[in-house]
Amino acid sequence: MSTRRTMVARTAMSVVTITTGLVLTVAGCGGDGGDDKADKEATPSVPEKNGGDDKDDAPAPDTDKTLAEVKSNGITLTVTSASRDDGGFLTISGKVTNGTSGIWVGSEWRSDENELKKNGGSLAGASVIDQQGKKKYLVLRDTTGRCLCTKFEGGINQSQSVDWYAQFPAPPEGTSKVQFQVPTMPPAALEISEGE
């Protein structure tokens, strides 16, 4: 009996010790050190973006700036960003607006490549043309054959706009102008900006 009471007492003491240690650790990490004024003056106030949702540290593309806009069959494709990053990628993004009388699923934009066919309604069929270097760059894909691009799952309702992106290998550093081509749409002439 006394062994059992000793074990219960030791367990209770262990729980109290661990809980006390955690409380002190949390209090020590969250302490302000009594110097509120210095902290407030040293830290600039930055407004929260997207209601505090901080999923992505990359700056959002400037949606007010339109690099190109093309229309076909009631669909408007707007390009707001074409940015080359240090990793050797070119990311193009913007909005697509459905001006048809029904749901648009993007099936005509899918790729003819066998590896990308399973992406369905997406920007998998998009390409970038470097006329200066006489090269065509196809959309990137992961090891399972999914394109690094927007998939229009469920389609886009009439008069609705949806953000999109597509990622490509970047043309050489000297190339600053390319054409962005999406099946069934006229080509869009773009100027590449240098990312961070």
pLDDT tens column, 31-58: 444 444 444 444 443 334 333 344 344 4
Domain annotation covers residue 181 = yes
Regarding whether 190 and 103 lie in a shared domain, the answer is yes
**13, 45, 56, 63 from 8: Cα distances, Å:** 9, 52, 49, 64
Regarding whether 88 and 17 lie in a shared domain, the answer is no
Regarding whether 155 and 118 lie in a shared domain, the answer is yes
- Per-residue pLDDT at 89 exceeds 90: yes
Q: How far apart are CA 23 and CA 28, in angstroms?
A: 9
CATH number for position 114: 2.60.40
Contacts of 154 (CB under 8 A, 6+ apart): none
Regarding whether 175 and 94 lie in a shared domain, the answer is yes
* Mean predicted confidence (pLDDT) in 86-113: 90
Domain annotation covers residue 27 = yes
With beta carbons less than 8 A apart as the criterion, state whether 110 and 116 touch.
yes
- Position with higher pLDDT, 21 vs 133: 133
- Position with higher pLDDT, 64 vs 161: 161
**Burial class of 114 by CB neighbour count within 10 A (0 to 12, 13 to 18, 19+):** exposed
- Which one-letter DSSP state was computed for residue 148? S
Of 45, 60, 76, which closes a domain? Answer: 45
Dihedral of the CA atoms 155, 156, 162, 165 (nearest 10)?
30
Regarding whether 20 and 103 lie in a shared domain, the answer is no
- Per-residue pLDDT at 102 exceeds 80: yes
Provide the phi-psi class of 67: left if phi over 0, else alpha when psi is between -120 and 50, else beta: alpha
Regarding whether 103 and 190 lie in a shared domain, the answer is yes
Regarding whether 76 and 36 lie in a shared domain, the answer is no
Domain annotation covers residue 62 = no
Regarding whether 39 and 133 lie in a shared domain, the answer is no
Phi and psi for 49 in degrees, rounded to 5? -105, 145
Domain span at residue 180? 68-194
* Mean predicted confidence (pLDDT) in 183-190: 93
Domain annotation covers residue 50 = no
Q: Report the number of distinct structural domains present in the chain.
A: 2
The pLDDT score that the predictor gives to residue 22 is 41
Regarding whether 190 and 97 lie in a shared domain, the answer is yes
Domain annotation covers residue 53 = no
Mean pLDDT of the chain: 75
The pLDDT score that the predictor gives to residue 24 is 42
